[in-house]
Amino acid sequence: MSEKTIREPVMGLTFEKVWAMFQETDRKMQEMALQTDRKMQETDRIVQETALQMRETDRKISKLGSKLGDLIEEMIFPNIMEKFNHLGYAFGRAATNVRYRDARGEYIAEVDILLENGDVVLAVEVKTTLTNNDVRDHLVRMEKLRSYADEHQDKRKLLGAAAGAIASEEVKSFAIKSGFFVLEQSGDTIRISVPKDFKPREW
């Protein structure tokens, strides 16, 4: 009697099996999409929180910088008129944070410290850390002040000065070459850098 091999019948794919496979695949895809969406939402939340923290940090830094700038002005202001008067300018008036408006009432310039007499007006830019860009900005400011003065029939000479608690030799040299006096902290007071043969620029 010969040995017989008994085989299980091979079952083909039925519509129900194929449909079940599609449903399972669709379920997995929906789960993956949901997970991806959750991750994107979490990433977006982290980005928004980071941006908020950066804005808050920028605000604090700006506020701190403003306070430091005010402190520098307070250190310079009490002695500045006396220092320049020793150079022969005889300034009789001094003011801080002087704003200039055009004919439409819009601000065109602000001067940190302004010294005046009958012949000369001196505009001082004060920074915690003085940079070349600050000097360039002050050059532009001086041009605006000259235009403003001409429009108001003010023929007095305009001079400029730049002050900083921190200023590199390069920046100080650039400011002097631009025709500005340079004010530096010296202990509890200030000193004016007046190199030999220095002639301040007049606007």
pLDDT for the residue numbered 24: 79
Q: What is the mean pLDDT of residues 12-40?
A: 77
pLDDT at 175 over 80: yes
Could you give the count of Cα atoms lying within 13 Å of 162 in the half-sphere of its Cβ?
Answer: 28
pLDDT of residue 172: 95
* Helices 169-177 and 132-151: angle between axes, nearest 10 degrees: 30
pLDDT at 119: 95
Distance CA 133, CA 131 (A): 5
Gap between the Cα atoms of 40 and 43, Å rounded: 5
DSSP state of 188: T
> How far apart, in Å, are the Cα atoms of 76 and each of 10, 69, 117, 184?
98, 11, 19, 9
Fold classified for 68-193 = Trna Endonuclease; Chain: A, domain 1 (3.40.1350)
Cβ contact 76:126 at 8 Å? yes
Q: Which of 176, 99, 179 has its CA nearest to residue 145?
A: 99
Q: Residue 70: count other Cβ atoms within 10 Å of its Cβ.
A: 15
Distance CA 83, CA 66 (A): 25
Contact in structure between 183 and 167 (CB atoms under 8 Å): no
Task: Answer yes or no: are the C-beta atoms of 172 and 194 closer than 8 Å.
Answer: no
Give the per-residue pLDDT at 7.
52
pLDDT digits (tens, 9 = 90+) for 45-61: 888 887 777 777 656 65
Binning pLDDT at 50, 70 and 90, where does residue 71 land?
low
Q: How much is the pTM? A: 0.64
User: pLDDT category, 17, cuts 50, 70, 90?
Assistant: confident
| AA identity, residue 133 | N
What is the per-residue pLDDT for 135? 97
Residue 164 tokens read as: 């900083």
Report how far Cα 111 is from the mean position of its chain's Cα atoms.
Answer: 18
* Residue corresponding to tokens 């250190």: 75
Which tens digit of pLDDT belongs to each residue from 85-111?
Answer: 999 999 999 999 999 998 888 889 999
Q: What is the pLDDT of residue 28?
A: 82
Mean pLDDT confidence for 8-20: 64
Q: What is the pLDDT of residues 133-170, one digit of tens each?
A: 999 999 999 999 999 999 999 999 999 999 988 899 99
Amino acid 195: pLDDT: 86
Asked whether residue 129 carries a pLDDT value surpassing 80, the answer given is yes
Under 8 Å between Cβ of 122 and 161: yes
Handedness of CA 173, 141, 98, 114 (dihedral sign): positive
Instruction: Kindly state the average pLDDT of the residues 36-48.
Output: 82
**E strand residue ranges, 85-193:** 93-101, 107-116, 120-129, 157-166, 181-186, 189-193
